Structure 1
Amino acid sequence: MIASLRGTIVALATGRLVLEVAGVGYAVAITERHARELRVGDTVRLHTALVVREDDLSLFGFVDEVELGLFELLRTVSGVGPKSALGVLGSMDADAIAHAIANDDDAPFRAVSGIGPKTAKLIVVTLAGKLEAPRTPARGTAAGEDARAETAPRTALVAALTGLGWPERTALEAATAVIDQAEEAPLPELSVLLRRALAQLGPARDARGGSAR
């Protein structure tokens, strides 16, 4: 699996770029918002998801692990494919998504191109309880930044654990415990938190919560 790429942008279009890494060009789909911040010649690192289908291999790139985690969560919703999930992330940031879910508000999702009323409602219903809304809707303030800093690692860690098959309630409890117990400031990278969470969940349990045999 290609988890991340670091290289130079050699081609850039709306929602897509070609990243040259060690002489190999990778076509990567990105959000339109992200594309507007980039220029050909920039050296960037992308967190990536490789989506495999019978007749296609597609790479999707993200600014950070939080966006990647949200992408994977959105894809768990019936009717939301990778392109639709990318569209949501291009229209809404992590805070906006978390607030909409917490407030049972599907209107922001209905405003995303390619997301109909039924799918918008499914997003809200399916992701309820999986995202922790920021403590304040204020943006550009120190309080808002602190809330995002606290929420983002938990969201990414829950997404990683559920992606490995753990039940969402179990994943949320483990993520909360690991983050609360962390003594480092700032928090360690997601890979470190994930190892701690898996160690806490215990090797004797499988991803469905049963006992290993």
Structure 2
Amino acid sequence: MIASLRGTLIVLAGTRVVIDVAGVGYAVAVTERHARELRVGDSVRLHTALVVREDDMSLYGFADEIELGLFELLRTVSGVGPKSALGVLGEMTPDAIARAIAADDDAPFRAVSGIGPKTAKLIVVSLAGKLLAPVGTAPVGSPAAPAAVTASLAAALTGLGWPERTALDAAAQVVEADPDAATTGLAVLLRRALSILGPARGRSDGAGGGS
């Protein structure tokens, strides 16, 4: 399992990059948004997902664990393969994805190349309640808010490879310790949970959906 790479960027060809790690070149697919920020010769670190199929092994790389977690969540949606998930993350920021899902708005996903109306709707329906929306997009402070935040955080941890029970326990611990968890933001909560759990464990890599 390859969970991350740190090395020198030696090839940048569209969304395909090659990272030299101790003399070994790893070909990695990245988002268009991420590729625009990279330059050959840069020292880079990528959080990676290894997708294994019968005739192919592909690495997908991300700047942080938030995007990696979203990549894994998107792949749980029927009809969304790794290439489509990468396309979504290349067009939309994590906040934009969470905002669209909280608003039950599939239009931003339909605007992504390769995502049709049916798949866009499935993304919104399938991920409803699994992401913490940015502040201002949904009511907070209601009795259900802590549970929603816990579910969102647990889903992100599960996407990073933690067992569901372990992820739920850690998420509950983090949310209970923060009376303002509903407005804190997923990135901050995720960092706190990871400090409790330690390095993410290897996740099981299946074939995923179609691309």
Contact (CA 8 Å) 2:129, 2:152: kept in 1 or not? no
Alignment of 1:25 with 2:25, yes or no, is: yes
SS state at 2:10 partner? strand
* Aligned equivalent of 2:177, options 175, 178, 181: 181
Shift of 1:153: 11
Against the structure 1 CA distance between its residues 69 and 155, is the aligned structure 2 distance closer, same or farther, given a 3 Å change threshold?
farther
Do the aligned residues in 1 keep the contact of 2:150 with 2:168 (CA within 8 Å)?
A: no
Q: For 2:38 and 2:171, locate their aligned partners in 1 and report how far apart those are by CA, in whole Å.
A: 33
- Aligned equivalent of 2:88: 88
Name the amino acid aligned to 1:90: G
Structure with more relative contact order (C-alpha pairs < 8 Å, separation 6 or more): 2
Name the CA shift for 1:191/1:177 in 2 (closer, same or farther; >3 Å): closer
What TM-score do you get using the length of structure 1 for normalisation?
0.74
1:118 deviates by 0.2
Structure 1 position 160 matched with structure 2 position 157: yes
What's the Cα RMSD here? Answer: 2.9
The reply on whether 1:108 has 2:95 as its aligned counterpart is: no
Q: Which residue of 2 aligns with 1:193?
A: 196
- Contact map agreement 2:10 2:19 (CA 8 A) in 1: yes
Q: What is the alpha-carbon distance in structure 2 between the residues aligned to residue 108 and residue 175 of structure 1?
A: 29
CA distance in 2, matches of 1:105, 1:88: 14
Take 2:9 and 2:150, find their aligned partners in 1: how far apart are those partners?
28
Provide the C-alpha distance between the structure 2 equivalents of 1:190 and 1:7, rounded to a whole number of angstroms. 27
After superposition, the Cα gap between the structure-2 partners of 1:80 and 1:36, relative to the gap in structure 1 and judged at 3 Å, is same
Q: Which residue of 2 aligns with 1:134?
A: 134
Is the partner of 2:105 in helix, strand or coil?
coil
Give the length in aligned residue pairs.
Answer: 178
Deviations 1:128-167 (A, max 9, x none): 0000101136xxxxxxxxxxxxxx9985653222554527
Q: Distance in 1 between matches of 2:121 and 2:110?
A: 8
Q: Percent identity?
A: 70
Q: In the alignment, is the contact (CA less than 8 A) between 1:130 and 1:172 conserved in 2?
A: no
> In structure 1, what residue type is equivalent to 2:32?
E
The residue type paired with residue 159 of structure 1 is: A
> Taking structure 2 as the reference length, what is the TM-score of the superposition?
0.75
Once residues 50 and 194 of structure 2 are traced to their aligned partners in structure 1, the CA distance between those partners, rounded to angstroms, is 18
Alignment-derived partner of residue 71 in structure 1: 71
Shift of 1:181: 2.5
**Alignment gaps of 5+ in structure 2:** 138-148, 179-187, 199-211
Change (3 A) 1:99 1:181: same
Secondary structure of the residue aligned to 2:126 is helix
1:74-100 CA distance string (max 9 Å, x none):
000000000000000000001000000
Gaps of 5+ in 1: 138-151, 196-213
